[in-house]
Amino acid sequence: MLLSVGSETSGPITPEVRAAAAGDRRAAHALLTRLLPRVRSLVRYLVPRDDEVDDMAQEALVTIARGLKTFRGEGSLEAWVDRLVARVVFRAMRARRHRRAQLDDALARGADVIALPSAPRDPERMLAYDEMLRVLDRLPEAQRHPLVLHDVLGMTIPEIAEELSTPIETIRSRIKVARARFAVAMQDPIDRDGAEHAEG
């Protein structure tokens, strides 16, 4: 399987980005529509529940739309978007833990929020993502987030440490443990189908 930072499909500041940053709704709509699959993809990497993906993705789009003016084109737009999305997700998860601790977890776990037909997808690819997700969803948040930021977004350990307000050595250790657990679970069909991992 690949290890990648994801495809980057645009140059830093395209006319579309410039127009969207200037408040052109049509341009912003086109841009956000193009970014939405990427945003949803990343959100799902970071949160263990399908039903939260669209709320968080929407919140991330709001942040992106508001923040476009501050995008300076120093890196790719996608990398900038990824950082914003991760930040929104972490903030939302913190807020949720704080405000909604009493909510019944069973309400949403596994719920199919939007079960609508979509574009045809490669079944093999879907299966690979589903298997990966089953394992990823069993990793504790403290390991899952550094692993995704590092191995999917390509962030450095100091950057992750800063983002998650966690010491560098802790991040390094968590990534190592998470990666090992992930690899073992992916290679073990029994484990992949449902074994629970303890917090490490």
Partner 1 sequence: MPKDDRIAGAPALLPLDPVRGAPARPLDAEASRRIVDVALDDALGTPAAPRRAWLVAAAALLVCVTGTATAVAWIYRAELFPAREPATLRHAPRRAHRAPPAPEPATEAPQSSAPVVATPAPEVQAPEGAPRPSSAHRHHAARGASSTADQTDILRTANTLRAARRWREAERAYADVARRFAGSDEAYTATIAAASLRVDHLGDPRGALTAFRRALAARPSGDLSEEARYGIAQCHRALGDASAERRALEELLVRHPRTALRRRVEARLSELRGTR
Contacts of partner 1 in 38-97 (CB under 8 A): 38, 40-45, 50-51, 53-55, 57-59, 61-62, 65-66, 78, 82
Residue 181 binding partner 1, by CB under 8 A = no
CA 129 – CA 118 distance, rounded (Å): 16
**Least CB distance from residue 97 to partner 1, whole Å?**
15
Q: In the 8-state DSSP scheme, what is residue 10?
A: S
CA 98 – CA 159 distance, rounded (Å): 25
Q: Which of 19, 48, 140, 151 binds partner 1 (CB under 8 A)?
A: 151
**Least CB distance from residue 168 to partner 1, whole Å?**
11
Residue 117 binding partner 1, by CB under 8 A = yes
How many Å is the Cα radius of gyration of the chain? 18
CA 18 – CA 68 distance, rounded (Å): 8
Helix axis angle for 123-136 and 168-187, nearest 10°, is 130
- Two tokens at 114? 């939007």
Q: How many residues bind partner 1 (CB under 8 A)?
A: 80
Give the nearer residue to partner 1 in terms of CB position, either 44 or 138.
Answer: 44
Q: In the 8-state DSSP scheme, what is residue 193?
A: T
Q: Which of 69, 94, 126, 200 binds partner 1 (CB under 8 A)?
A: 126
Residue 190 binding partner 1, by CB under 8 A = no
